[in-house]
Amino acid sequence: MASTGTQTASETYSVADIENVVRWFTTDLRMIADSTGTLSWSEAEDYGEDIEYLAKKKLLKFVDITLFINGEEEKAVRYTVDTSGRLRSSRPGGVLWPRKPGSHLSIVVRPTQSFWLMPNVMNALNISWVPTNKDVSHSKLKAGQGRAFVSSGFAFNREDYSK
């Protein structure tokens, strides 16, 4: 006797969950911007709005933020989208990075698909994002204790790197 079945996948998170998680991400980014002096508050907000938009459109794999001092990697964090429902939430923080001459931030978004080819997406963003093949492996840094920002089934798993 043969049997058939149907399986449907459903998401266990809402738009409000994405907004909550990105709010915590943006809090981290504001702390990084403020402590390093590399971004203004409004620039950090613009990045946060873009990350939220991309997450809502399911166009985001991860966001990588790296602090360079005189061209050398000093610190980095990577926020990877996780919808497994297995992470436990942490609070933002732990990103008071040094303020030193010659500092700049690199913010790289790894998309699920090339949104640069989607004019409607590009027009909705605050930042002029461009494709890059920048190395974000942080091979010269050590991985440390990370955090997770979770709201229902949507999360950013934060990996921390430092010298």
Kindly state the average pLDDT of the residues 32-53: 97
Listed by start position, the domains of the chain span: 15-162
Q: What is the DSSP letter of 115?
A: G
Q: Is the pLDDT of residue 7 over 60?
A: no
Q: Is the pLDDT of residue 2 over 80?
A: no
Q: Is the pLDDT of residue 55 over 90?
A: yes
Q: Tell whether domain 15-162 is in CATH 3.30.900.10.
A: yes
Give me the phi and psi of 34, to 5 degrees please: -70, -45
CA dihedral (70, 99, 41, 115) positive or negative: positive
pLDDT at 3: 43
pTM of model > 0.75: yes
Give me the phi and psi of 155, to 5 degrees please: -150, 155
